[in-house]
Amino acid sequence: MDVQHILVTGGAGFIGANFVRHVLGQTDMLVTVLDKLTYAANPASLTGLPSGRMRLIVGDICDEVLVNELVAEVDAVVHCAAESHNDNSLDNPYDFVRTNVVGTFTLLEAVRRHDRRFHHVSTDEVYGDLALDDPIKFTEYTAYCPSSPYSASKAGSDHLVRAWVRSFGVRATVSNCSNNYGAYQHVEKFIPRQITNLIDGVPPKLYGEGLNVRDWIHAEDHAAAMLRILRNGKIGRTYLIGADGERSNREIIEMILLAFGRDPQNFELVTDRPGHDLRYAVDATPLRQELGWTPQYGDFSEGLAKTVRWYQENEEWWRPVKHATEERYTRQGR
12 in contact with ligand NAD (CB under 6 A): yes
Q: Which does 86 bind (CB under 5 to 8 A by kind): ligand NAD, ligand DAU, none?
A: ligand DAU
Q: Of residues 22, 205, 218, 322, which one binds ligand DAU by CB under 6 A?
A: 205
Is 141 assigned a catalytic role?
A: no
190 in contact with ligand DAU (CB under 6 A): yes
Query: Who's near 247: CB < 8 A, 6+ residues apart?
Result: 213, 214, 216, 300
In the chain, DSSP assigns E strands to 5-9, 30-35, 54-58, 76-79, 117-123, 172-177, 180-181, 205-207, 213-215, 217-218, 238-241, 246-248, 268-270
Which residue among the candidates 125, 246, 254, 283 is catalytic per the annotation? 125
Alpha carbons 266 and 178: distance in angstroms, whole number:
27
Is 302 assigned a catalytic role?
A: no
Size of the site for ligand NAD (CB under 6 A): 32
Alpha carbons 324 and 221: distance in angstroms, whole number:
30
x/- binding map, residues 152-171, to ligand NAD, per CB under 6 A?
--x-----------------
Residue 278 one-letter amino acid: L
Is 125 assigned a catalytic role?
A: yes
x/- binding map, residues 101-130, to ligand DAU, per CB under 6 A?
----------------------xxx-----
Q: Which does 15 bind (CB under 5 to 8 A by kind): ligand NAD, ligand DAU, none?
A: ligand NAD
Select 99 or 148, whichever has its Cβ closest to ligand NAD. 99
Alpha carbons 286 and 62: distance in angstroms, whole number:
33
Alpha carbons 170 and 117: distance in angstroms, whole number:
7
Which residue among the candidates 127, 150, 184, 297 is catalytic per the annotation? 150
Alpha carbons 218 and 223: distance in angstroms, whole number:
9
Site residues (vs ligand DAU, CB under 6 A): 84-86, 123-125, 178-179, 189-190, 193, 205-207, 212, 214, 249, 273, 280
Active site residues: 124-125, 150
